[in-house]
Structure 1
Amino acid sequence: MGFQANVLKVMIASPSDVADEREIVTNVLYQWNNANAVTRELVLQPVKWETHSSPQMGAPAQSLLNEHLLLDADIVVSIFGTRIGTATADFISGSVEEIKRHVAAGKLAMLYFSHVPVDPHAIDPKQWAALQAFKEECRASGLYAEYASHEQLRTDFGHHLAIALNRPQYLWLTKPNAEVELKEPDLDYNERRLILETADDRNGQIIAGTTMEGFYVQANGKNFVEDTPRSSATWKRVLSNLVQLGYLHQESEEIYELTEDGFARADKEISIAPLELSLSFAGTPNRQLLCVESNKPIIVKQVEFLTSSEAKISDMQIGSENAKEHSVVLDHAKIISLFNTPRPDMNYSDHSGPAALRLVIEVNGRRNEVLLPIMLQPKFVSNTQWIELSGSKVFVLKDI
């Protein structure tokens, strides 16, 4: 639902060696929006060259960034690691130019310098020397902050942002006439996957920790971490990001719980995601099951038995519960009827060959159909002939 709000553009300025820190600052801004935007009638919009610039010729790159991003920015957040950045026509680097022009315009600039340990061999001596000189210049002309870890930057920037936005110029912004829709932060595949699985978990919980075998993340009966350091690092980042975005709450050292915002985000992801439907067979020849699994609740309405040319031979009315998993017991008499039907593509020695099942489902009150190609194969069990079905397929249905 839309609401009326002012929008402050927060430009994130930095050289290229602090990509993780840029993402942390972005997530803190989104977290502030989730907690405060409605009551403060204020939305913070992260502005970054990678998301708010476009290819353009005719002027130096920094001049174009200044024109399109910096001039409209209300706040600049600048982060430095071991590099000062690339020099521009008038300044020692583009990031320094953005800071100085912003301060000269009387606007708020927040500076952060990293003390996070790095490989000394990765440091460019000239870049490092220029950065230290700029840091000394900042020491004489204002306040800056330092951080020794990514977690400290996350915590300190959140605290500093809250202080800055309580200044009079931000408290007394006039209420706009237009309504804005609060943009939710983007989630990557793993973040989205963990939220959805946790929403399906009986307790809405994630168990995470370290054993002799390594780091693990478990929810809804599944373990997400592969046995590699890279996978462990990925899932640690996923947990940290979801906590910062307010979708998870860390109850203890090993237990995370999905928050109210987390359940709401899961519901939204489910509603906009395409329907993924998996069909396969299980059971014994005398009691065969059609296994239906989906990422959204569905009702199985009907199973139709068809030849490979899609001529309908018979059907079964189902009318199941609305659920994500179904095991449909197939009527073997109808399988026999299909098997005994003359089919141009059957093997005349044993009547084996291709056929099809059409599954009729209902999703959100709408009827949909999928066609599963199958093979019919006679099989003897205790001197009795049964007809075994084989085949499987995953369907992706959009706009459902």
Structure 2
Amino acid sequence: MSFKADVLQVFIASPSDVSSQRDEIENAIFDWNRRFAEELNIVLLPNRWEKDVAPTYHPIEPQRIINETLVKKCDILIGVFWTKLGTRTTSAPSGTLEEIESFIQQQKEVLIYFVDKDIPREGINYDELKRVDEFKKKYTGLYSSYDKYKVIDHLYDKVVEYKRNNPESAFIQRELTKKKIEEVNLKNLIYSGSLTVNEFLLLGYILETGNRSFGVRWMADDSKNMILKWENQRSLGKSNLIDNYESVLENFLDRGLIEPKDYTEYGNVKLYKMPMPIFDELRNLAPVVKQEIYEVVNSHYFELPF
């Protein structure tokens, strides 16, 4: 099922000696999305210069192409170091450090990791290794030893912090929902032919029970049980409203028939409610209009064979 989400761009920055870690981080971001994107309504999009920058000429140096193409647009930087600091640029000891400094100046999130594994005896450039050690000593922020599972956990923490600091996205969504509710004409909607059978059934449930609250996530079971109880009392043997509960709520939300009323600590909706003006309109519909709803409900009546 689809869901609305913000997208945060994650820039993976490192010298050339940690290419395998760069691949691991990209896969870790995809794993993060599978586990947490729907829960937090945030999708993380990995960015790497070798994959996301087209071949382009710059009159001064290639690093500026990366800065203009990726560094400016990304929200989080993950930096990884092992035995190399990277190639010097005209304005920084290395391209990776220039990217990190740019993020810091823009007050964007920076996660720095150092690979903690044996250094090969052959082919090592000790001058480069010394530069890494010097940077590690001078870096005034917090850093961690590299572990892809730590990256997933740290990204989770950063996203939760982002949601707490950016409530305006939820506010905008609530304002859009409010605007839809103000534009609803329930009678016209019922006669429009656009409502699905399950939407008619849910309107019938609200009309007959007076229950206009609907839980989602862990609160969905109570709402589904109440609907199932109503269906049993009405002997509705052919209804599949329960199986399509989430999609019906999504339709109601899009039509302005319900609005978010309660949220989890992460800002996700856990309870929807039909606004009182819509509920009053439903109860005060002319009998001939209500009959349109009852006909759909009654068409699911199942007569027991005894």
Q: State TM-score, norm by structure 1.
A: 0.41
Q: CA deviation at 1:169?
A: 4.6
1:20 maps to: 20
Q: CA deviation at 1:3?
A: 2.9
1:143 maps to: 142
- When residues 121 and 170 of structure 1 are mapped into structure 2, their CA distance, relative to the original with a 3 A threshold, is farther
3-state secondary structure, aligned to 2:87: coil
Q: CA deviation at 1:118?
A: 2.6
Give the Cα–Cα distance (whole angstroms) in 2 for the partners of residues 122 and 91 of structure 1: 25
- Please tell me the residue identity of whatever aligns with 1:154: K
Q: CA deviation at 1:87?
A: 0.4
- When residues 88 and 170 of structure 1 are mapped into structure 2, their CA distance, relative to the original with a 3 A threshold, is farther
3-state secondary structure, aligned to 2:136: helix
1:33 maps to: 33
Give the Cα–Cα distance (whole angstroms) in 2 for the partners of residues 57 and 127 of structure 1: 28
Q: CA deviation at 1:171?
A: 6.3
Q: 2:156 aligns with which of 152, 162, 175?
A: 162
Give the Cα–Cα distance (whole angstroms) in 1 for the partners of residues 164 and 16 of structure 2: 30
Contact 1:28–1:158 (Cα < 8 Å) also in 2: yes
- Please tell me the residue identity of whatever aligns with 2:153: H
Q: CA deviation at 1:23?
A: 1.1
- When residues 171 and 23 of structure 1 are mapped into structure 2, their CA distance, relative to the original with a 3 A threshold, is farther
3-state secondary structure, aligned to 1:20: helix
Alignment deviations for residues 16-53 of structure 1 (CA, whole Å, 9 cap, x no partner): 11011111111111111111212221100000011110
Count of residue correspondences: 170
The farther-off stretch of 122-131 and 160-169 is 160-169
Q: CA deviation at 1:168?
A: 4.6
Q: CA deviation at 1:91?
A: 0.3
- Please tell me the residue identity of whatever aligns with 1:77: I
Contact 2:42–2:159 (Cα < 8 Å) also in 1: no
Question: What value does the CA root-mean-square deviation take over the aligned residues?
Answer: 1.7
Give the Cα–Cα distance (whole angstroms) in 2 for the partners of residues 122 and 116 of structure 1: 16
Name structure 1 gaps, 5 residues minimum. Answer: 148-152, 178-400
2:50 maps to: 50
3-state secondary structure, aligned to 1:55: coil
- Please tell me the residue identity of whatever aligns with 2:30: Y
Give the Cα–Cα distance (whole angstroms) in 2 for the partners of residues 119 and 56 of structure 1: 35
- When residues 33 and 13 of structure 1 are mapped into structure 2, their CA distance, relative to the original with a 3 A threshold, is same
Give the Cα–Cα distance (whole angstroms) in 1 for the partners of residues 164 and 86 of structure 2: 31
Alignment deviations for residues 339-373 of structure 1 (CA, whole Å, 9 cap, x no partner): xxxxxxxxxxxxxxxxxxxxxxxxxxxxxxxxxxx
3-state secondary structure, aligned to 1:106: coil
2:243 maps to: none
Give the Cα–Cα distance (whole angstroms) in 2 for the partners of residues 120 and 166 of structure 1: 42
Give the Cα–Cα distance (whole angstroms) in 1 for the partners of residues 15 and 33 of structure 2: 26
2:134 maps to: 133
Alignment deviations for residues 71-108 of structure 1 (CA, whole Å, 9 cap, x no partner): 00100000001000000001000000000110111011
Map residues 380-395 of structure 1 onto 2, 5 A cutoff.
none
1:116 maps to: 117
Give the Cα–Cα distance (whole angstroms) in 1 for the partners of residues 163 and 71 of structure 2: 19
3-state secondary structure, aligned to 2:57: coil
Give the Cα–Cα distance (whole angstroms) in 1 for the partners of residues 156 and 162 of structure 2: 13
Give the Cα–Cα distance (whole angstroms) in 1 for the partners of residues 24 and 89 of structure 2: 27
1:65 maps to: 66
3-state secondary structure, aligned to 2:16: coil
- Please tell me the residue identity of whatever aligns with 1:144: Y
2:227 maps to: none
More helix by share: 2
- When residues 32 and 75 of structure 1 are mapped into structure 2, their CA distance, relative to the original with a 3 A threshold, is same
3-state secondary structure, aligned to 1:8: strand
- Please tell me the residue identity of whatever aligns with 1:159: D
Give the Cα–Cα distance (whole angstroms) in 2 for the partners of residues 34 and 63 of structure 1: 33
Name structure 2 gaps, 5 residues minimum. Answer: 174-306
1:281 maps to: none
- When residues 155 and 112 of structure 1 are mapped into structure 2, their CA distance, relative to the original with a 3 A threshold, is same
More strand by share: 1
Give the Cα–Cα distance (whole angstroms) in 1 for the partners of residues 50 and 89 of structure 2: 19
3-state secondary structure, aligned to 1:123: coil
Give the Cα–Cα distance (whole angstroms) in 1 for the partners of residues 164 and 7 of structure 2: 11
2:108 pairs with 1:107: yes
The farther-off stretch of 153-162 and 78-87 is 153-162
1:80 maps to: 81
- Please tell me the residue identity of whatever aligns with 1:161: L
Contact 1:11–1:76 (Cα < 8 Å) also in 2: yes
Give the Cα–Cα distance (whole angstroms) in 2 for the partners of residues 30 and 164 of structure 1: 16
- Please tell me the residue identity of whatever aligns with 1:145: S
Alignment deviations for residues 115-154 of structure 1 (CA, whole Å, 9 cap, x no partner): 211312221111111111111111xx1100114xxxxx11
